[in-house]
Amino acid sequence: MDKISFKTDIYMGKGALNRLAEWRNKRIFIVTDPFMVKSGMINLLFERLHESNEQYIFSNIVPDPPVEVVTEGVEALGTFQADLIIAIGGGSAIDAAKAMKIFAKKILDQRDISFVAIPTTSGTGSEVTSFSVISDKKKNIKYPLVSDDMLPQEAILDPDLVKSVPDFITADTGMDVLTHALEAYVSTKANDISDALAEKAIKLVFAYLPRAYKDGGDLEAREKMHNASCMAGMAFNITSLGLNHGIAHVAGAKFKIAHGRMNSLLLPHVIEFNADYKPGYGKEESNATAARYAEIAKNLGLPTSNARSGVRSLVQAIKQLQKQLHMPQTLRDCGVDQNTLEEMREAIAEGALHDGCTATNPRVPTKADVIEILNK
């Protein structure tokens, strides 16, 4: 038996940020990154928040937020005695706020604090998930935390907030969306409802990511990518993820490669592994996961005479998309040399097998399988 619940109210579309004006008489703890303050984007919040509220800004968030920043936030949250947290920023700001919220509840024994998430990248879907990824920068490890207590009460998807995202971050985060949706689609926990969300998200990525990359001011493309990110988040909140994320969490931390970019590098190879796809195989050689990927290829209007050709078409389409977005396609392209890879691949493979996301991968990997993927 599966249980699906959607706890987060979603306000979406142009003008959605105006929803903030509804909050009155609150002590609001705002979690954000320095860019939001420096660029003045944070003022979009202040222009809308009612004067009866008190605000505190915590703007120390850095990408892949470390545990020390979370600890600092918990202290500030407790001192301020907040009753509403607003996280505005990319996945890093939202994830850090989620961790602050649950640790504040545990450590400071505070009552439950309301939580609004406002994504300014279209990537993680964190505004609707029970996940938060926190880094241990000393050990170069990322820890995915999972708790329904971290689910935001409200998410605000306003495309105006994403216009300023630079093209390379649009590409990285957009490929994160695609990875979420594809991993949700082939997860061992996939069902008809997660499939619907994932299928639509995948279609939106192929249709609108190149447009959002080419012209950041293309509001229609920005809005569609924002929706795709949220839908992919809803999908994987039902199904969890897979080996792609399992490896990306460890390898991204070790090689210091942005999360979406690391996912993108791995994606074609993890698909081929999951589908047991090898170029020399006969056409009857395919597994149930290959058939699932072929359904996606068919949905995208790609050539699919059988499961195997569907997998090939999907992989080619992904590589083509990466080229359109001028993305790196190998670890070497990201500056990781052969010696570094050889030194680290055992530890990465070990870590990936133990990452929580790997548990729902459709094909159980061995350490040697992960090393083979990394070598590619």
Q: Which residues bind ligand NAD (CB under 6 A)?
A: 33, 35, 63-64, 89-93, 95, 120-121, 123-126, 129, 131-133, 142, 161-162, 164-165, 169, 173, 176, 259-260
Strand partners, 141: 136
Nearer to ligand NAD by C-beta: 33 or 355? 33
* 12 SS3 class: strand
Query: Is residue 225 helix, strand or coil?
Result: helix
- Indicate the residue among 37 and 371 with the shorter CB distance to ligand NAD: 37
| Closest to ligand NAD by CB, 99 or 294 | 99
Write down the least CB distance from residue 263 to ligand NAD, Å. Answer: 8
Residue number, 19 or 142, with CB nearest to ligand NAD: 142
Nearer to ligand NAD by Cβ, of 169 and 257: the residue is 169
CB of 73 to ligand NAD, least distance (A): 15
Q: Which residue, among 329, 335, 331, has the nearest Cα to 348 in the 3D structure?
A: 331
Q: Taking Cα atoms as reference points, which of 215, 117, 118, 126 lies closest to residue 161?
A: 118
Report which of 182, 7, 161, 24 is spatially closest to residue 90, judged by C-alpha positions: 161
In Å, how far are 43, 148, 201, 244, 287 from 29, measured between CA atoms? 15, 20, 32, 34, 50
Return the number of the residue (64 or 199) whose C-beta is nearest ligand NAD. 64
Nearest distance from C-beta of residue 84 to ligand NAD, angstroms: 20
Q: Supply the minimum distance, in Å, between the C-beta of residue 308 and ligand NAD.
A: 30
Q: Are 87 and 115 in contact (CB under 8 A)?
A: yes
Which H helix or E strand runs over 87?
strand 84-89
Side chain identity at 262, as an amino acid letter? M
Q: How near is the Cβ of 181 to ligand NAD at its closest, in Å? A: 12
CB of 216 to ligand NAD, least distance (A): 9
Closer of 35 and 80 to ligand NAD (Cβ) = 35
Exposure b/e, 263-283, CB count within 10 A at least 16 = b: bbbbbbbbbbbbbebeeeeee
Residue 316 · residue 325 · CB < 8 Å = no
Closest contact distance (angstroms) between CB of 114 and ligand NAD is 19
